[in-house]
Amino acid sequence: MDTDLKDGPAGTVAVLGATGSVGRTVCAALLRTGHRVLAVARRPAPHTRAHAFVPLDVAAAGPGRLAALLDAHAVTAVVNATGGWGTTAEKMRSAHVDLPRRLAAGCAATGRRLRVVQMGSIHEYGPVEDGVLIGEDHVPGPLTPYGATKRAGSEHLLAESRAGRIDALVLRAVNVCGPHTTTASFLGVVAQRLRALAPGGTLTLDVAAARRDFVDVRDLAGAAVAALTAPGRSRVVNIGRGEAVPMADLVDVLVKVSGIDPAAVRLRPAEVTSKGGSWTCADIRLAADLLGWRPLIPLDASLRAMWEAAGAAEPPGGTG
């Protein structure tokens, strides 16, 4: 890498989407590891007061403006944590395709080959057969606008990296849980409905017979920090726990940590309608080899932290 990050936590790391659920956690992880942080998002949030903050819609910013921002703050690397669930096709294209293109152009305009860590998604691969361990060599075939736009943005950054204009790594993360994760996710919706349950009431939840890989957002943030100094460039690295967990089991854990009587909650079988099909399980061996990373936080601890954070006054961010 052609930046001073190769010698340790020096320079400033810009985090795009710093008010979102992933971005805020990446900012906190960077701060703990001695990095200076430039938080970038459309609007500030209470937790951004811990960092230098610039309000900016990167998807609408020209290369010159973005390059000037990166130079003015001595930015040596960028983590792109923008994007979100539950948005329209137009918004997904803006966040997942247009923004990475503008980011690459802005980084290239600095004249420095900046490390760009793209927070990608396991859904860029598209649905797979049950039992498949998804490796980085799996041929992508996303069938949803979310997966297709996320893949397009990642592929553009990788192409710019191979051309020598930036130094990119793409982290394709599985579904995320843990503190401050988005309420637009399935588990986020479940947590909201559990909190809204009146004493003595009952709740019916539709749960698909699917098995999915989940990783705590703090473990994902740790992978992003490790990726800043990882060797190599133009690589895709899968981030997950490497376990396909039944969705019903995750709901059961969330009910348990909520303290609600399990007898008050009924799980009703439902069809699989999500972005990832009925199965996701990431092969995370490359993350261990290249990043020196492995997941540390058990799912029950992650869901407990998610439940506790959901009761906090400040709402979690979505897209940053």
Runs of H (alpha helix) within 173-246: 186-195, 217-227
The number of beta carbons lying within 10 Å of the beta carbon of residue 287 is: 25
d(CA 277, CA 184): 17
Active-site residue set: 146
CB 236 within 8 A of CB 154: yes
Sole residue written with tokens 């973005």: 66
> How far is it, in rounded angstroms, from Cα 267 to Cα 311?
23
Query: SS3 for 300?
Result: helix
Helix-then-strand count for the chain, H and E = 10, 13
* DSSP strand pairing (36-41 vs 12-16): parallel
CA distance 231 to 239: 17
What are φ and ψ of residue 140, in 5° steps? -65, 140
